[in-house]
Structure 1
Amino acid sequence: MKNSLRKLKTPLLMMICCLLGVGAGAGNVSAEGASNSYNYSYWGDAVAAPAAYVATELFTGPDLGTGPFQEPNDLHVTADNRVYVLDSGNNRIVVLDHDLKLITTVDSFTSEGGPDTFLNPQGIFVTEDGEVLVADTGNKRVVHLDSDFQLVKLIDSPESELLQDTFSFEPVRVVMDQAQRIYVMAGGVFDGFMEFNAEGSFTSFIGANRVYIDPIEYFWKQISTKAQRSQMVMFTPTEFTNLDMDPEGFIYATNGDQWGDNIKKLNAQGNDILRRTGYFDPQGDILYMSSEGPSRLIDIDVADSEIYSVLDAKRGRVFTYNGDGHLMYVFGGLGNQMGQFHTPAAIDRIGEDFLVLDKALGEITVFRTTEYGRTLNEAVKSYYRGEEMAAYELFHRTIAMNANLEFAYAGIGKALLRQGDYNEAMQHFNRSLDQNNYSKAFLLYRKEVMREHFPLIMTLLVVAVIGIFAAARIRNKTKRRKGASA
């Protein structure tokens, strides 16, 4: 019943907000010292939350000794915390160490015996072995360099029956898995990501977005003339806006779909396997001003334990979710203060901290965890690793700092469920309004009670059956005696 009410309430609220032209105040919710720190309750209300991350440092090109950045588009942090910044306007890669100290800059490489350079590159990816892949957009190619920045191969002008003769290859983002397969997000491609084998040959498209059909637009197309239909918008899938790859080889992607699933987790077949069992589907803000519209997600970063974060270009906010799709925390925003951005372009983690790249200002903002953020991160990771007692204690500490974080009660319930304390788990699932897990705990608790009291129950049943049988025998004998006397 509660779940039905919640599902009913949210669309009604959003319809009212759209009609009145006002939002539900998500942007106005603030915790002390954190102007953009909030979460969403089970009922879809924006509630205050402690800051999980705070901006502590700001770096520009001159601060790093590289000269000014010019419209940097992407950054990547490796497992050993090296930071690769793609300075697109200057056609170079800037490599920093874990303290953001300059290591080197790469603005050229050797190709066919001579120097070669980048032209307006848009995306960069670095493998565990230090190999570098660059989406060299202006030159319409992908550049694959080894850890010493020597050319491995160039991918350009792919040929296939799947591609039209007029196809122009314009790579924007790129990743590579452990099998050396390369996945490219290319401009103007609506069929998904382009997959290339280890030799650099195009093989297929994967993960195409579904087509969203506006019912009103579709109705008008049915009744309009051919000339009118030619002027209408075509029903085509939305393009992806970015992608990242987790250690297991799954692709996490964002797209520009404002009405469908704008975050996806793709397996090798291109099927979306992202879990969406939170109170709301992962999508950024769920309440907003009607004049602004929903979040426009432009980057995604995947950490360990299935934790992932997305960057909203429309409001400059970073949203972080656990593997089940529960919103953990929000930080960032647009503005001129520390921790706010003008044109956010990319995010990545360096250890437990975040780096956010501002394209227009050419700045890197460092966000460091607070005690609340560290505790919540470790609680989610402990549960993922199967450390029930640690997760139980950490979620309790999280709730002590933020009683509004409803899914933390579910985290405690799941930890208790794994430990076999079904009765206590039920109580926490009830507090988090997690009906599915409550039902699971109830069934297990009922089995436990039945198993515990089974001998007594069976004894009582046997005694009852014997009693009924004996009473029937006595009654029959009494009737026979009365009949004989008569």
Structure 2
Amino acid sequence: MRSNVRTWARLSILCLLAVVLASLAPIKAAAEVTYGTFTKDSFGHQIITQPAYTPYKMIGTELTVPDSEDPSIQVPSPLQKPSDVFIDDKDNIYIADTGNNRIVKFNPEGEFLRYYQLEDNALNGPQGVFVTDNGDIFIADTGNKRVVRLSQEGELLNEYHRPESRNVPETLKFDPTKVVVDKRGYIYIVTMGGYYGMVQLDPDGEFKRFYGANAAPFSFMDAIKRAIYTREMYENETSKIPPSINNATIDHEGFIYTVTSGEGVSSQQIKKLNYQGENILAQYSKFGTAKQSFGEYNRFDARFVDGVSMQPQIIDVAVDQEGNFTVLDSYYTYLSQYDASGNLLFYWGGPSSAATSQLGLIKTPSAIEINSKGDLFVLDSQENMLQAYRLSEFGALVHHANRLTQQGRYVESEEPWEEVLRLNSEYLPAILGLARVAYKKEDYEKAAELFKRAGNAVGYSESFWQIRLQWFQKRFSIFANTVIIIAVLFFILRRLSRKWNVKRLWQQGMRGNRMALLDQLKQTLVIIRHPVDGFTALRYENKGSYLSAFILLAATSTALVATETTTSFAFNPVPPSSINIGSVLLPFFGVWFGFVVCNYLVSSIYHGEGRFKDVFVGSAYALVPFIIVGLPLAILSNIMTHAEGTIYDYLQNGMYIWLALMFIWMVQALHNYSVGETMLNIILSIFALMILAVLIFLIFGLTNELIVFIYEVYQEVVLR
């Protein structure tokens, strides 16, 4: 009996241990990934996700060559500063082993096959390799200033040197670093510092054109210089040259992706070019424009130089069978993956330990490639090896759902997107995918809710347009009858008002009950119709007071808060949690009151006639456009979509122009200035306001330092 009890006890303990180990298995698997994986929501907030890729292999660490003295003995011959990697349609791997002047070929499992080296005219620092569908190997032989074409057996088939053509400028330096070939046999060569674009050769090796050149930078200051400088002065300026293309690849559909990085390049680092060289990633899509700035990193890894956050330096891009592309950043050593439209899916990586090699972390990345199974391969030029990553279960699920969405099979994508959202409730592509599903199924209420949750103002507007259309169609007869009734009532009331002279009776009644405050508030109507006369009356006829000014300031505060909280998400796509009344009112009224003080001080020196009370009250009355236009526009936006965005922008910009004119008229009338004196006074007031802001910043900063110093002294005294 006791033996049975012991047996059952042992079995129970073993079962319990099995359950515990099974529950710990996923944690262990996740712990094997030495880096974090992230994505972002539509407001740019970093979101942690499950690993999308897991590292599983290091390739190229055990290369050997025959010993020079005894060929029967193999001696180690590791990679030396490898620059490029390419995977052909059979998943064979080719590495440009720059330091050893050779190309190394591996099979799909990462096992060494052979070296490619030219005996008669040896390679010299090759930095790029490309293999066509028929097996021809193109090598960017940088040191020899040529591109060579080899057969699979290593036989030299052709050489391409600097093209001889009258269309090739003398300043072109032909130092090939990368090469790609399209299905027609056209050759695209990336040259070192080649700001003309890639050199395109036809299948016979003749120069065709420069392809995919970037535009020269042109800033706002350049536009001002061009407008005011003479031709001689502008020609003496430092010439602006386009940033050069650093790398290129080609996908299975024939689109060429170019990589541009360097100082001042903050957008369109990745371009997806069609046959004509147009960047189709910049084109408009139904639910918004695609991302134009690429390269992500963990915000806690951010590096600063002179207080400025350093930007990622993208050096390569790889495209899979579905059009998803992954970019490689050499500065933060992060990999960022986007779908075919440029929408972010994941980013992962981070700095590696300087002392040891870690599976999955790269020290000095130099190239990236992807095979037909979707496995990623990243070349490390410092560790002299190739790291391999494969899709995780979560990453494969996201790719499957996103593939269905990209193909327009929205209904089929619903189930996998719901599973993704179950695993990660904040994953943005899943929310957007389900929003598209709801839109396709004509569930526009749910679509609008999901688009709003995803922060997609364009998708929300499209959904709301459909909701508004359906709502109006159901109630069209009611609207038609209401319009007729209103027209009849208006006609009747107009006839009665003429008969009884209602306007005269109302004016007589008001004359007996008129109050000073009401007159002061009604002065806003005078200012709207006749601004200069209205502001002059504030100064010389006491048509305004501090009380009326504070009432208008309170009304402006209400309008500002209501505008921020009431404006439709289609025109104000900010998360509700980020709206703070203090953050709305304090900056606005801080600038407003600062302008009042500075304008009064400047006008006191610059022969102005206005008193401080006049400037204070007049500046409050000048805020009337916010009340008259801002609040109604915010309410009106809730029945508008992006289709009426032009109307919304016209009214909003008109309000700001009107506001600026009100302040100009106010300064002119209160201080009795000419137009020129008015503009000079406003410029000086704005300059004084900037100085005041700097002084306040310094005072607060020094005060904080003083408080910290006093507290530290106090701590020293107390502790001793």
State if a TM-score over 0.5 links the two structures. Answer: yes
Q: CA RMSD in A?
A: 3.3
Residue 321 in structure 1 maps to residue 335 in structure 2: no
Contact residue 267 and residue 292 of structure 2 kept, 8 A: no
Q: CA deviation at 1:123?
A: 0.5
Extract unaligned runs of 5+ from structure 2: 1-29, 66-75, 486-720
Q: Distance in 1 between matches of 2:112 and 2:451?
A: 49
SS state of the match for residue 195, structure 1? strand
Q: Distance in 1 between matches of 2:238 and 2:377?
A: 38
Alignment of 1:317-396 (within 5 A): 317-336=334-353, 337-350=358-371, 351-396=373-418
Q: Distance in 2 between matches of 1:425 and 1:247?
A: 33
TM-score of the pair, normalised by structure 1: 0.78
Q: Distance in 2 between matches of 1:279 and 1:402?
A: 23
What is the aligned partner in structure 1 of residue 279 from structure 2? Answer: 272
Q: Which has the higher mean CA deviation after the structures are superposed, 290-299 or 332-341?
A: 332-341
What is the aligned partner in structure 1 of residue 315 from structure 2? Answer: 298
Choose from 184, 187, 193 the match for 1:188: 193
Choose from 415, 437, 457 the match for 1:415: 437
Q: CA deviation at 1:441?
A: 2.8
SS state of the match for residue 168, structure 1? coil
Q: CA deviation at 1:398?
A: 1.4
Contact residue 122 and residue 135 of structure 1 kept, 8 A: yes
Contact residue 63 and residue 112 of structure 2 kept, 8 A: no
What is the aligned partner in structure 2 of residue 478 from structure 1? Answer: none
Q: CA deviation at 1:327?
A: 1.1
Q: Distance in 2 between matches of 1:63 and 1:47?
A: 40
For 2:370, the aligned partner's letter is: R
Pair 64,326 (structure 1): closer, same or farther in 2 beyond 3 Å: farther
Choose from 154, 157, 169 the match for 1:149: 154
Q: Distance in 1 between matches of 2:47 and 2:90?
A: 37
Q: Distance in 2 between matches of 1:321 and 1:435?
A: 20
Extract unaligned runs of 5+ from structure 1: 1-30, 110-114, 469-486
SS state of the match for residue 280, structure 2? coil
Contact residue 296 and residue 334 of structure 2 kept, 8 A: no
Pair 428,64 (structure 1): closer, same or farther in 2 beyond 3 Å: farther
For 1:240, the aligned partner's letter is: I
Q: Distance in 2 between matches of 1:42 and 1:282?
A: 14
Residue 59 in structure 1 maps to residue 69 in structure 2: no
Alignment of 1:86-485 (within 5 A): 86-108=96-118, 115-165=120-170, 167-213=172-218, 234-256=239-261, 257-275=264-282, 277=288, 280-285=291-296, 288-291=302-305, 293-336=310-353, 337-350=358-371, 351-446=373-468
Pair 219,423 (structure 1): closer, same or farther in 2 beyond 3 Å: closer
Q: Distance in 2 between matches of 1:379 and 1:241?
A: 33
What is the aligned partner in structure 2 of residue 7 from structure 1? Answer: none
What is the aligned partner in structure 2 of residue 484 from structure 1? Answer: none
Q: Deviations over 1:222-266 (max 9, x none)?
A: 99xx99x98x86421111111111122211111025233211111
Contact residue 117 and residue 154 of structure 2 kept, 8 A: no
SS state of the match for residue 61, structure 1? coil
Count of residues in correspondence between the two structures: 425
SS state of the match for residue 304, structure 1? coil
Q: Distance in 2 between matches of 1:182 and 1:433?
A: 42
SS state of the match for residue 258, structure 1? coil
Q: CA deviation at 1:325?
A: 2.1
Contact residue 186 and residue 200 of structure 2 kept, 8 A: yes
Residue 69 in structure 1 maps to residue 91 in structure 2: no
Task: State the percentage of identical aligned residues.
Answer: 26
Pair 344,161 (structure 1): closer, same or farther in 2 beyond 3 Å: same
What is the aligned partner in structure 2 of residue 17 from structure 1? Answer: none
TM-score of the pair, normalised by structure 2: 0.54
Contact residue 267 and residue 293 of structure 2 kept, 8 A: no
- 1 or 2 for the larger relative contact order (CA 8 Å, sep ≥6)? 1
Q: Which has the larger radius of gyration?
A: 2
Q: CA deviation at 1:450?
A: 6.9
For 2:396, the aligned partner's letter is: R
Q: Which has the higher mean CA deviation after the structures are superposed, 176-185 or 212-221?
A: 212-221
For 1:407, the aligned partner's letter is: P
Name the one with the larger helix percent. 2
Q: Distance in 2 between matches of 1:161 and 1:36?
A: 52
SS state of the match for residue 149, structure 1? coil
Q: Distance in 1 between matches of 2:212 and 2:398?
A: 32
Q: Deviations over 1:114-137 (max 9, x none)?
A: x43311111111122222211111
Pair 161,42 (structure 1): closer, same or farther in 2 beyond 3 Å: same
Name the one with the larger strand percent. 1
Q: Deviations over 1:325-355 (max 9, x none)?
A: 2211012222133221221001111222211
Pair 432,157 (structure 1): closer, same or farther in 2 beyond 3 Å: same
Q: CA deviation at 1:192?
A: 1.0
Q: CA deviation at 1:299?
A: 0.2
